[in-house]
């Protein structure tokens, strides 16, 4: 299972706390950035000593502010909530009253805020029912293969329902372009969007999470994939697989 799968496969209680315990590796893993903390190791932080579980909690506060803030900032395609709803949830989380929220927003009325509270609670009920339906559907073995879509990382751009890709499609595309194996070179880069995404997702595997690369280091890795490494580097940025500093001196997996 990839690091990205951990986020999407997490239970609700794991997602709300922002981390989970990886029993096989005996470590606590941050679901928001995949940073890992080995169980049994003592971590010194700001003059104090913490075990792995307390350290991952401290990490989430330090690196992500809170799980609520991180989830709230996710793209609408993942949360299903509008910018206005995000703003309201931000105020609700702070514990502001309806009148205080009206004052913060410089407009509206307390009754309008109450209406929004009610609609969000209804949305919560709908989400629970939908989650139950999808869980029951997933448990049907005969449906698993046909609905086995691949996941892209949370920062991926240019992806919508048009790019629903099954595992079978992915394997076919990869075998077509990576004739020497998944760690080999490609002779051509696809022009179709779906194929681009699949190829880029495989290429990004050659980079380590939580590591910063110079442009030269990125180029050297990409040269092992395709002669026109500049094009690959540009697409990795455009499609949200990788990010960089404005001046292009540092690159990392997004």
Confidence of residue 154 (pLDDT cuts 50, 70, 90): low
Using the predicted structure, report yes or no on whether residue 160 has a pLDDT greater than 70.
Answer: no
Q: Could you write out the DSSP letters of every residue in 189-208?
A: ---SHHHHHHHHHHHGGGS-
Provide mean pLDDT across the span 142-160: 60
Domain ranges within the chain, ordered by starting residue: 3-70, 75-138, 161-253
The share of the chain scoring above pLDDT 70, in percent, equals: 89
Confidence of residue 64 (pLDDT cuts 50, 70, 90): very high
Using the predicted structure, report yes or no on whether residue 13 has a pLDDT greater than 90.
Answer: yes
Give the per-residue pLDDT at 9: 85
Q: Which residues of 116-126 are buried (b: 16+ CB within 10 A; e: fewer)?
A: beeeeeeeeee
pLDDT digits (tens, 9 = 90+) for 65-104: 999 999 999 988 889 899 999 999 999 999 999 999 999 9
Of residues 96 and 136, which shows the higher confidence score? 96
Give the per-residue pLDDT at 147: 52
Separation between Cα atoms, residue 1 and residue 171, nearest integer Å: 16
**Residue 76 burial (10 A CB sphere; 0-12, 13-18, 19+):** exposed
Give the per-residue pLDDT at 78: 86
Number of H helices and E strands in the chain, helices first, is 13, 7
Q: Taking CA 226 as the corner, what is the angle to CA 148 and CA 202, rounded to the nearest 5 degrees?
A: 20
Provide mean pLDDT across the span 193-217: 91
Provide mean pLDDT across the span 5-34: 92
Give the per-residue pLDDT at 164: 73
Helices (H), 45-179: 52-64, 67-72, 76-79, 83-93, 98-105, 110-138, 141-144, 167-177
Residue 5 near residue 151 (C-beta atoms within 8 A): yes
Residue 214 near residue 181 (C-beta atoms within 8 A): no
* Location of structure tokens 């404005």: 246
CATH code of 75-138, in short, is 1.10.10
Provide mean pLDDT across the span 148-163: 63
Separation between Cα atoms, residue 26 and residue 11, nearest integer Å: 18
């Amino acid at each position: 299972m990839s690091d990205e799968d951990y986020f999407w496969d997490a239970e609700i209680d794991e997602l709300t706390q922002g981390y989970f315990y990886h029993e096989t590796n005996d470590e606590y893993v941050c679901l928001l950035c995949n940073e890992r903390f080995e169980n049994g190791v003592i971590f010194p932080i700001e003059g104090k000593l913490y075990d792995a579980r307390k350290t991952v909690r401290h990490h989430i506060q330090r690196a992500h502010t809170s799980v609520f803030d991180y989830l709230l900032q996710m793209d609408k395609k993942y949360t299903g909530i509008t910018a206005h709803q995000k703003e309201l949830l931000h105020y609700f989380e702070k514990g502001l009253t309806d009148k205080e929220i009206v004052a913060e927003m410089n407009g509206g009325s307390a009754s309008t805020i109450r209406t929004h509270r009610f609609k969000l609670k209804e949305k919560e009920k709908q989400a629970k029912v939908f989650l139950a339906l999808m869980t029951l559907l997933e448990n049907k073995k005969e449906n698993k293969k046909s609905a086995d879509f691949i996941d892209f990382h949370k920062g991926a751009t240019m992806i919508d329902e048009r790019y629903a890709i099954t595992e079978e499609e992915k394997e076919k595309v990869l075998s077509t372009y990576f004739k020497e194996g998944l760690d080999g070179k490609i002779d051509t880069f696809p022009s179709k969007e779906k194929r681009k995404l699949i190829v880029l997702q495989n290429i990004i595997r050659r980079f380590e999470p939580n590591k910063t690369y110079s442009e030269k280091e990125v180029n050297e890795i990409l040269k092992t994939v395709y002669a026109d490494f500049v094009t690959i580097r540009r697409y990795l940025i455009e499609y949200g697989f990788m990010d960089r500093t404005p001046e292009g001196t540092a690159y990392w997996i997004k």
